[in-house]
Structure 1
């Protein structure tokens, strides 16, 4: 059954129906209609001449309002103001939508109302007709009765409290991100329902406690039972899943399905694997339930204040959730939402996955820069000052937080010196590396950053190896400017590789991706936002390959001597810098006209008869040689 509701505000003329109806509609953010606007001209003329309407006059008018209610209920809830003085009138008004109708009766004395009515201008109801309305009035038995002696605000508050409207959006899962997104939606004025599971003795009343802890959630509905949560939502239901990626997402979907209706929309806002998103999309499509995979970046504060949002799925269905996602997203420099339709199926989660891969590299590069500067004899405070000075030419969110991290003290020492050098990961870097291998895209920096984390985890073995192999980095002979230039060089290569991977996925999966738009929504709200990302928006409008852009080519050329110096010095002084090293290695390979791959192809033909093409044969023919 459609869960939308029509609220009829009834009562004699002058009781304030229109004022209350408009305020209530604004409160609930639903359409408002004044029944007086739907009278035929013949009724208006009759009342203007001082004659009361009879039941025959009202019949067509009441039927028109009933049809209006039915039409609106197909789309949303609504408020309709109508005197509805007789029970027979109310029966006509609610015909066919009885279960979706709520009545509010505004009650006042004759003297109260006649005083109000005489103050109104340009209204066709003369106060002399008021007594006839009081005589006609049949008090309803099924209405919320409110005295008009209260202020309009008090009346609307009372109605809001008594009539539980269906929420327009649901959040399933109140972890860190789920809580922040819920508050963000509520702050934007949306009526929401929130759900969190309940585990007796450990997790009890999570949703209720969360609702009660934040003023903006006063009108939100909180649930720990799935059926109540689903039934609290307008149809088509829009439910955003904020649960851990993997099997839990599938379990949640199965738990929800029995209570969903055809046309409902599930939105996966977790870090799900894009392949699983495609599978879930197809599975739910078979049940006539829509599925949208949405990448959300920005962490706890970003989710609260405005994240970068990457939705993928059917575009028409996305348009049904677009107002919610765009409202809570961060804004770019032009005040446009950092949320855009990415493409079909699992493309939103794919783009978010690559975002995280780029993030891995940006983090690793800053870690390498810190290690280089530390080996040059700089304290964490001095490194922070150096990074701060780089902001005019290389600013980013990650650079900014690294400055803050390096300045943090713990007692008489810097906190960074007390943190164990074992880096964790949640799998997205792994997925990105696998996807790059499957698509044949050379995302070598992402792989290097991922394996640097894996290597860091072997702490005990590293300690032993440093003794056994006598690896002991010595002071580096470098200029600070060269380190900055090397950092900028590697970042260009990182962004090239990440965007190239997205481009290759678009071609392989038939997704229609707009890399310039993707760069735009990465300019705020997300972890990899930076000044360079802003620069890439116009560059990507010209070509998906940023290394074809003349300005970037010239910048790479200018920075190349510095990356050569830095990487060479690190190798000579036995300091590991995997991503800085790989950035220049990649560019050297990428820009090599004649590579060593001919040897590999000859080897493949030797042991596996895989054939090869010849430089002196332009036909494209493949050759095989008996190498023995």
Structure 2
């Protein structure tokens, strides 16, 4: 039995001592009645019919706390009986031993308890004082709550089962990702508490039915009551929240807070905005609750078999949950977990956001590759065969699933032909585009891919406009090899832009993000895992800017003629290739020592007196010109 101090609390007359005596024999640990530790003046005061005040109780509660601490230091368990009617009293009792403390609250109605007291003999607590106890009572939120209508023997069995059956980890929210992560944790030997809300007629017994569905969840504890869920978890509690980002996560936090205790840890495993994660971190810190914002990538299958996990927050807090996250994470080529501490506050959710931004562009690039090959007269099976041949050269998870998608039939036709060309988004591409603008980093391909999705959504308007401008007279002078090389070029630029954004955010916020380690945890489990990502693990060990790496520079130089041709053919033949176009446009701009920005700055100075620097003055001085003619 792990060391624990079981406090049995409640108003006088609920049978605390009786239950403690029986439980003591069951668990073979000593029990102490708090009444035996009262000072003589307190006993006399109560015997005279005068209630104790807080000052009377302070030394008494401290002596019980010292008793509990003594047992913890000796690594022995015990049971302490004490009314502990206020939360302030319970805070004194559990001071410095919060994680060893378990609370059992015995309760009943006033009439029920009064009748019990009236039948007791030779006890200094008269029934007249009972009302003051009920008036004082602040019901605990983190206790095993048992009605005294049950027999003492039954109560002891309930306490024994719940006390010995505490879980190691809580999972709050059983949507697609929550269910997969739960099964992953259970498959890795973690004893779980599972929670899903109860909505009559819509969501009933979700956790219980989920537990019954999968044998690996045999020892999991299912709940739809928040108090019971929280109290079923060992302290300090570790609870992973798998709910929708935004207001929902804030509502869940507020619902959990009354039942949490100092040192408990909440882990937000959803796609939350990193700015909100920092706010939540600071808010919960003020409540003595720790908060970790953990990006989780891999989708339903990845969450089950091993996702990539990106935790951010206090590093000491992370170490407390590290074993659990590393157990369920994917493994890299060296069998190391694809989970690593990213940095403070919102850094974990920031890199997950950028991960999704890179993902947006990677998906759009493959969509454009499909469009080009389709316009060369290839059917989905033929395109899939071409992409299959690319795997030996430029493999990635997204390439693999695109091949599967293209081969899927629906009747006699390919399913892809029947899917409406309106792409949705859940906000992370939008957030990445906002962040890149705020930080002043030109992650143009993320923005381009996001706007491509926005354009796709105006289906009806596109149909109308297509009658004015569209042409079917295509004559693409391309082959699949040229398209592959353009695709390779664009992928390098996309990854440069994504990691450049992360590096800038890390510098601005003093996050000290290790780009090589980040690339490593993105080599498996996550959506953007690829051969290119694996190569970047080594690249980032020597440089933090891949456009400074000689091999990558050489590769881009070799690939550049092909993307120029592909983009030119696309534009001439009115085939939309926005991210491919953006990739070469970016490098064309970025690789020029002299740009057209001097015109922009002159214009700004003309209408707004924004000033400018001169190329013939190295001092950094700013100038202003009166441009208008006299």
TM range (shorter): 0.7 to 0.9
Tell me whether 472-481 or 528-537 shows the greater mean CA deviation.
Answer: 472-481
- Alignment check: 8 A CA contact 2:313 2:343 kept: yes
Pairs within 5 Å for 1:574-613: 574-613=574-613
CA offsets, 1:171-217, max 9 Å, x none? 00000000010111111001110100000111100000001111111
2:170 is matched with: 170
- CA distance 1:553–1:328, shift in 2 (3 Å): same
The DSSP-based 3-state class of the residue aligned with 1:581 is helix
Q: Distance in 1 between matches of 2:76 and 2:307?
A: 33
- Alignment check: 8 A CA contact 2:172 2:178 kept: yes
Matched, 1:346 2:354: no
1:274 is matched with: 274
1:408 is matched with: 408
Matched, 1:533 2:540: no
Q: Distance in 2 between matches of 1:310 and 1:439?
A: 21
1:194 is matched with: 194
- CA distance 1:73–1:266, shift in 2 (3 Å): farther
Matched, 1:295 2:289: no
- CA distance 1:98–1:339, shift in 2 (3 Å): closer
1:225 is matched with: 225
2:135 is matched with: none
- Alignment check: 8 A CA contact 1:277 1:346 kept: yes
- Alignment check: 8 A CA contact 2:162 2:232 kept: no
The DSSP-based 3-state class of the residue aligned with 2:612 is coil
2:252 is matched with: 252
1:87 is matched with: none
The DSSP-based 3-state class of the residue aligned with 2:594 is coil
1:180 is matched with: 180
- CA distance 1:282–1:98, shift in 2 (3 Å): closer
Q: Which runs of 5+ in 2 are unaligned?
A: 7-67, 78-99, 105-151
CA offsets, 1:429-457, max 9 Å, x none? 00000000000010000000000000000
Pairs within 5 Å for 1:304-453: 304-453=304-453
- CA distance 1:599–1:200, shift in 2 (3 Å): same
Deviation at 1:265, TM superposition (A): 0.5
Q: Distance in 2 between matches of 1:72 and 1:238?
A: 23
Matched, 1:619 2:619: yes
- CA distance 1:438–1:483, shift in 2 (3 Å): same
Structure 1 segments (4+ residues) deviating >6 Å = 65-68, 97-101, 141-145, 159-163
Deviation at 1:376, TM superposition (A): 0.4
Q: Distance in 2 between matches of 1:267 and 1:144?
A: 33
1:129 is matched with: none
Q: Distance in 2 between matches of 1:341 and 1:613?
A: 42
- Alignment check: 8 A CA contact 2:194 2:220 kept: yes
Q: Distance in 2 between matches of 1:597 and 1:162?
A: 69
2:563 is matched with: 563
Q: Distance in 1 between matches of 2:102 and 2:570?
A: 75
CA offsets, 1:257-299, max 9 Å, x none? 0001011111000000000000000111111111100000000
Deviation at 1:4, TM superposition (A): 6.5
The DSSP-based 3-state class of the residue aligned with 1:240 is strand
Q: Distance in 1 between matches of 2:301 and 2:173?
A: 17
Q: Which runs of 5+ in 1 are unaligned?
A: 8-64, 75-96, 102-140, 146-158
Deviation at 1:67, TM superposition (A): 6.2
Q: Distance in 2 between matches of 1:191 and 1:520?
A: 29
- CA distance 1:192–1:604, shift in 2 (3 Å): same
Q: Distance in 2 between matches of 1:525 and 1:184?
A: 13
- CA distance 1:549–1:71, shift in 2 (3 Å): farther
Q: Distance in 2 between matches of 1:429 and 1:435?
A: 10
Deviation at 1:508, TM superposition (A): 1.2
CA offsets, 1:149-171, max 9 Å, x none? xxxxxxxxxx9978642111000
Deviation at 1:475, TM superposition (A): 3.2
Deviation at 1:471, TM superposition (A): 3.8
Deviation at 1:470, TM superposition (A): 3.2
Q: For the aligned residues, what is the CA RMSD?
A: 2.5
- CA distance 1:73–1:460, shift in 2 (3 Å): farther
Pairs within 5 Å for 1:234-253: 234-253=234-253
- Alignment check: 8 A CA contact 2:5 2:101 kept: no
- CA distance 1:250–1:98, shift in 2 (3 Å): closer
2:39 is matched with: none
1:215 is matched with: 215
Q: TM-score, normalised by structure 1?
A: 0.76
Q: Distance in 2 between matches of 1:234 and 1:497?
A: 43
Matched, 1:523 2:523: yes
Deviation at 1:595, TM superposition (A): 0.2
CA offsets, 1:84-125, max 9 Å, x none? xxxxxxxxxxxxx89689xxxxxxxxxxxxxxxxxxxxxxxx
Aligned residues: 498
Pairs within 5 Å for 1:481-560: 481-560=481-560
- CA distance 1:473–1:353, shift in 2 (3 Å): farther
- Alignment check: 8 A CA contact 2:268 2:294 kept: yes
Deviation at 1:484, TM superposition (A): 0.3
- Alignment check: 8 A CA contact 1:5 1:100 kept: no
Tell me whether 460-469 or 392-401 shows the greater mean CA deviation.
Answer: 460-469
Q: TM-score, normalised by structure 2?
A: 0.76
The DSSP-based 3-state class of the residue aligned with 1:374 is helix
Q: Distance in 2 between matches of 1:73 and 1:536?
A: 52
Deviation at 1:468, TM superposition (A): 1.3
